[in-house]
Chains A and B, each alone.
Chain A
Amino acid sequence: MSDSTYNLDHLTELEAESIYVLREVAAQFDRPAILFSGGKDSIVVTHLAAKAFAPGRIPMPLVHIDTGHNFPETIEFRDNLVERLGARLIVGSVQATIESGKVQEEPGANASRNRLQTTTLIDTIEEHQFDACIGGARRDEEKARAKERFFSHRDDFSQWDPKNQRPELWNLFNGMHAPGEHFRVFPLNNWTELDVWNYILRENIDLPSLYYAHDRMCIRRAGQILAHSDHLNLRQDETPEMMHVRFRTLGDLTITGAFESDADTLEQIIDEVAATRITERGGRMDDKRSESAMEDRKKEGYF
């Protein structure tokens, strides 16, 4: 709280907004869920949900779309968090979607399961009849996301129609929908990357160790550092080497760029984020496929 008695610092104001959004979801929808990726944004959403419904439990399950290419640290972290909160976990498996023959693995060295996730996500939504899926996406991440609503409508094919979004005024959110349609809800819309980090520091929120600098076998590809793993198809000229790195976002092993860093405390990470001149998604191969890569995936039903 700042000097003036009735002024709130901006993190407190953002927190109040997000808690309001989460409670609105619980009140307006029959079968909501939190999409949990194991990344810092979905961890913050889960922390806010725990606060919003305290001392009760979070009244909606966490849904994890497991690509099978996750960092093992992410899975371990997820399971511990779910146990600590007494939350319900639902896992949708991309591997199972592939085995069912619905989608095919991408070929080649840049193969990624990023796009395949969308099918698994939509299947999971249909199977459990979720009518609201809460995500950790933020408007500052990417230009197509700058126009997102808090309550973002999806038709019965899970498609987003960016040119025809419902107007959203004041904090009066309209979650009405026909059967089969659902909403994506983004409580962190107004947060920036730096806000998320400062809030993690202020609230002392646990994060997977991947966010902190550590030693790891990596390769360099197209100006990026990628973690070496069984899921990465090495090219002939690529040799893994030991580096001291950390991750700024956590997606799949195959696409999430690491960078060399010595930041192993939250304070150091915040200083690094504040000083950096590259956007967070600048390390994501999935966004680099074309100028409207994110908009195109979002229309199909991506996170």
Chain B
Amino acid sequence: MAAATTPDHNGLLRFTTAGSVDDGKSTLIGRLLYDSKSIFEDQLEAVESASSQKGIDGTDLSLLTDGLKAEREQGITIDVAYRYFATPKRKFIIADTPGHIQYTRNMVTGASTADLAIILIDARHGLLEQTHRHSFIASLLGLRHVVVCVNKMDLVDYNEERFNEIVAAYKDFSSRLDITDIKFIPISALHGDNVVDRSDKTPWYGGGTLLHHLETVHVGADRNLQDCRFPVQYVIRPQTDAHRDFRGYAGRIASGVWKPGDKVVALPSGKESTIDQILVGDTPLDKAFPPLSVTMTLTDDIDLSRGDMLVRANNQPESTQILDARICWLSEAPLNPATRYVLRHTTRDVQAKITEVLYRIDINTLHRVEDDVTIGVNDMARVRIKTASPLLTDGYKDNRSTGSFILVDPSTHLTVAAGVVG
């Protein structure tokens, strides 16, 4: 079988890119897709014909990534677009997001499911406001891996000093953030230097190419295998003759390693039981861990339904009706302290009110703004939330599943905010 059919070695990597047309983001993505042979002939032909219709010389690879009519007309990216490519070592999902401040909510959305962020810096301009913004969002959303691509190195004659200056400036800035693994790579997306193939124009650079890093970066350790959390999503009760007494608790494992025979506690009831079987379809597993979707059966008939959680007795989440959280406001309608929002956390919905806006965060400077705490679209803030019944939470840093939530406006049904606990 061809190597390309089994990109399994290192599993799946989800990463996000943020940026505007000018910093070469679309060209970089086009380059990754093109050099990894993930672009098909008919796609390339369509882009070539669109390029010549617009009077552009050559092929504009950035056109590959514009999906909607309005985006093609305006030459901008409006929404998160997802791209896929695979190499013999790994499969990749790119959440491609626009970089302008008015699209902060799209960047947050793209980052929420990513393991890694690529931050592009134009070698001529160095760190810009949007560099700060993207880095802050990556940090807030708990991405532990950042790759800083210093792009357009061809326009600064592949100058080592210029690269080192930018690296030093970024390190200084990022010391205030919570990102553990930062890599710096000098590239030219346009010419392909150090993207897929090593460049002979940067002999002073000892590191690997961008693609090599993406293929090998280890993200498995980012998953929480310590704290067992299993939010019940759905109860399976077949009530057929063959399975009259079957009662299975279906859900996606948020964290921890689970085995048949483990003693568990159901929350909020506090009832104890033991795992009988862990199933995927009809197949029993001897252990299960995130992000598997499984069905668990217990040795006892206890009351357990959607929104409840299985945990271990000696390691429980916090049960609370007061949440301190950082939120990103997603809606055109501003935050209204009088509104009772629906807060969705794991598989549970509760009513919630924002009782206090502690401060707004200027995401360009990272400063706290305490005198103007009106929160509108794309704003970030630290808030206190009171819920109508208790939630079972962990800090987002420790647990992306039990530490995250969204707010929904019950009158419009729109998702108005995304929040992280702690």
Contact = CB atoms under 8 A, between A and B. Distances in A.
Interface in A182-236: 189-190, 192, 194-195, 198
A126 to B, nearest CB: 20
Given A27-B347, A267-B1, A295 B404 contact: no
A227 B213 CA distance: 47
A29 B404 CA distance: 23
Interface in B236-262: 236-240, 242-243, 246, 248, 250-252, 257
A57 B91 CA distance: 32
Given A143-B67, A169-B406, A170-B113, A190 B11 contact: no
A165 interface: yes
B317 interface: no
Given A27-B233, A169-B406, A172-B406, A51 B86 contact: no
A76 B192 CA distance: 51
B268 interface: no
Nearest to B9: A2
A279 B46 CA distance: 12
A17 B291 CA distance: 8
B234 A170 contact: no
Contacts of B48: none
A147 B9 contact: no
A291 B238 contact: no
A4 B4 CA distance: 21
A178 B404 contact: no
A26 interface: yes
B69 A176 contact: no
Interface string B1-27: 110111111111000000000000000
A278 B41 contact: yes
Given A23-B250, A198-B5, A163 B68 contact: yes
A282 interface: yes
Interface stretch (A7-15, A116-124, A244-252): A7-15
Interface in B96-153: 105-106, 108-109, 112-113
A52 B250 CA distance: 8
A176 B408 contact: yes
Contact of A166 (B84, B243, B415): B415
Contacts of B257: 6
B67 A282 contact: no
Given A147-B68, A172-B406, A295-B68, A13 B233 contact: no
B240 A20 contact: no
Contact of B408 (A16, A27, A146, A174): A174
Contacts of B248: 55
A85 interface: no
A54 B282 contact: yes
B66 to A, nearest CB: 7
Contacts of B233: 20, 23-24, 27
Contacts, number: 197
B388 interface: no
Contact of B252 (A2, A20, A178, A275): A20
Contacts of A50: 281
Contacts of B234: 23, 26-27
Contacts of A267: 1
Interface string B45-85: 01000100000000000000011111010000011111110
A82 to B, nearest CB: 17
Contacts of A301: none
Interface string A22-58: 0110110000000000000000000000111111110
A285 interface: no
A56 B238 contact: yes
B246 A55 contact: yes
B291 A9 contact: no
B252 A147 contact: no
Interface residues of A, number: 68
A139 B84 contact: yes
From A7, A189, A194, name the one whose CB has the most chain B CB atoms within 10 angstroms.
Answer: A7
Contacts of A7: 10-11, 220
A127 B259 CA distance: 46
Contact of A169 (B72, B108, B242): B108
A271 interface: yes
A6 B220 contact: yes
Contacts of B251: 23
Contacts of B240: 55-57
A187 B72 CA distance: 27
A172 B233 CA distance: 12
B50 A291 contact: yes
A139 B251 CA distance: 24
B293 A20 contact: yes
A274 interface: yes
Contacts of B112: 169-170
Contact of A194 (B86, B93, B238, B291): B86
A140 interface: yes
A169 B418 contact: yes
Contacts of B10: 2, 7
A258 interface: no
Given A56-B237, A171-B252, A277-B40, A162 B291 contact: no
Contacts of B105: 167
A278 B8 contact: no
Contacts of A178: 413
A146 B279 contact: no
A9 B8 contact: yes
B415 A270 contact: no
B87 to A, nearest CB: 12
Contacts of B313: none
A271 B401 CA distance: 38
A54 B237 CA distance: 9
Nearest to B50: A291
13 contacts: A7-B10, A16-B292, A20-B233, A23-B234, A54-B281, A55-B242, A55-B243, A56-B240, A144-B67, A167-B418, A169-B404, A172-B405, A292-B69
8 closest Cβ pairs, A-B complex: A56-B238, A51-B281, A19-B293, A176-B413, A10-B12, A143-B67, A169-B112, A282-B42
Given A55-B282, A271-B1, 16 more contacts: A7-B11, A8-B291, A9-B8, A10-B11, A20-B293, A24-B233, A27-B306, A54-B295, A56-B238, A56-B240, A167-B108, A169-B113, A172-B405, A192-B86, A192-B91, A279-B40
